[in-house]
Amino acid sequence: MIYINNTNTNPYFNMAVEEYILKEFKEDCFMLWRNQPCIVVGKNQNTLSEINMDYIKANNIPVVRRLSGGGTVFHDLGNLNFTFIKNDSEGNFNNFRKFTMPILNVLTSLNINAEFSGRNDLTIEGKKFSGNAQYNYKNRVLHHGTLLFSSNITDLSKALQANPLKFQDKSIKSVLSRVTNISSHLKEPLSILEFEALIKSYIITENSSDSLYEFTEYDLENINKLASEKYSTWEWNFGHSPKYNFINEKKFSFGTIECNMQVQHGIIKDISIYGDFFSKLDVSDIEAKLIGVNHVESEVKSALSGFNISDYFSNAIVEDILSCMF
């Protein structure tokens, strides 16, 4: 496994780094990295409905969309991110426990009792400090996660406009009460850079790797090009504001789905599907298939019958998707 040394804190650059490594490298890779304050939204989310735009504009906070599904998160320099990119011959997509185990082991060495919780979270005393997501590309899987170490949780709560549907089955009423910093549970003081060094040492030791990779000039040229042409653009991060006259949103055990449709003369003219669900394949395939279909349940169901729905909405069935469209 290659350990990639990345000290850049530009969020557009770091999103581009992950895609570049995923698609251009052949080896298994691991990377620790941090972002300056920013909002990172999931691949399938409607950006405008996830953020507090007034706060973000006032504080000049960048917004960037990542490759993977899942929910929106706030990054700052008190948050440490980790990324595994592996060749996936063992079917590791959706295996969140496997990729988070090294983090849990490091925390155990610090006498912190952390646990894997729910679909993709790590918690301490019931409070979340890590959210994880994955993306599949050909035979490679990208797994990345956040590690709140000493983040400004007040800024986090102000920057994110929580979707009420996410809290229907919870009694906790604020983002502030749901999250915690790792540093608050340490027995002895530790800086985030010292914490980073502990994880680095563990990964290198466990994988018998002495390979520390530094980006070449060629790498940097291509990463910066990708950051400029994709990850820093409005088209990628926000897209055109939808003009739909049918909007429905539902929460399932596998995540939230929001369906936006423009229907004219009973025919679906445009459709966008957002949410914090995970997906192996891109939902744009389904969106394209539904354009031109009559807005009738039997015809929409027929159009969906050609897809393996669980590849597009992990752990979902066709009836779940239909219930959002009518």
Mind listing the domains of the chain with CATH numbers? Answer: 2-237 (3.30.930.10), 246-325 (3.30.390.50)
- Walk along the chain (326 residues) and give the pLDDT tens digit of each residue: 999 999 999 999 999 999 999 999 999 999 999 999 999 999 888 777 788 888 998 999 999 999 998 888 999 999 999 999 999 867 777 788 899 999 999 999 999 999 998 888 999 999 999 999 999 999 999 999 999 999 998 888 889 865 555 433 332 233 444 899 999 999 999 999 999 999 999 999 988 766 789 999 999 999 999 999 999 998 898 763 344 468 888 999 999 999 888 887 678 899 999 999 999 999 999 999 999 998 788 899 999 999 999 999 999 999 999 998 88
- What is the pTM assigned to this prediction? 0.77
- The tens digit of pLDDT for each residue in 177-200 reads 489 999 999 999 999 999 999 999
What does the alpha-carbon distance between residue 229 and residue 227 come to, in Å, rounded to a whole number?
6
Own/partner long-range contacts of 100-105 (Cβ < 8 Å, ≥24 apart): 100/130, 100/132, 100/145, 102/199, 102/202, 102/203, 102/206, 103/130, 103/145, 103/147, 103/199, 105/202
Residue of 44, 242, 76 whose CA lies nearest to 153: 76
Spatial CB neighbours of 313, under 8 Å, sequence gap ≥ 6 = 254, 255, 257, 277, 279, 283, 320, 321
